[in-house]
């Protein structure tokens, strides 16, 4: 997990992505490719390409698919959310400030990494 951005529910994913891209591009200048879901608007994809030289690839269902099927790129994200969801502090979501929620996500991710490194 490189960066976390928690914002209010009335902000669309595309708008949040624009904020996040500006921060990520300065912190990780070698980043070239990001997978996103189909909820991201075309203007974010174009902004990432022209302003930051990053390719945002939308991961969509294969044509003709009905029902559930594992999509490898998205499965990594969903699996990570499931692992983080095991943390009681993240499950209850009692934080009042977005900054506190971001910190709790980072702490959960650090906990996961430490467990893997110490096994």
Residue 33: pLDDT above 80?
yes
* Mean pLDDT, all residues of the chain: 84
Average pLDDT over residues 13-31: 88
Quickly state the pLDDT bin for 2 (edges 50, 70, 90).
confident
Quickly state the pLDDT bin for 50 (edges 50, 70, 90).
very high
Quickly state the pLDDT bin for 55 (edges 50, 70, 90).
very high
Distance CA 25, CA 27 (A): 6
- Per the CB < 8 A criterion, the answer to whether 97 and 7 are in contact is no
Helix (H) or strand (E) holding 20: helix 13-27
Higher pLDDT, 2 or 91: 2
């Amino acid at each position: 997990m490189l960066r976390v951005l928690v914002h209010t529910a009335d902000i669309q994913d595309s708008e949040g992505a624009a904020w996040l891209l500006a921060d990520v591009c300065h912190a990780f200048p070698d980043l070239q490719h990001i997978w996103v879901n189909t909820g991201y608007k075309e203007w974010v994809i174009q902004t990432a390409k022209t302003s930051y030289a990053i390719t945002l690839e939308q991961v969509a269902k294969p044509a003709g698919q009905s029902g559930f099927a594992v999509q490898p790129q998205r499965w990594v994200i969903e699996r990570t959310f499931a692992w983080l969801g095991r943390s009681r502090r993240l499950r209850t979501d009692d934080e009042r400030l977005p900054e506190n929620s971001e910190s709790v996500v980072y702490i959960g991710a650090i906990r996961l990494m430490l467990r893997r490194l110490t096994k």
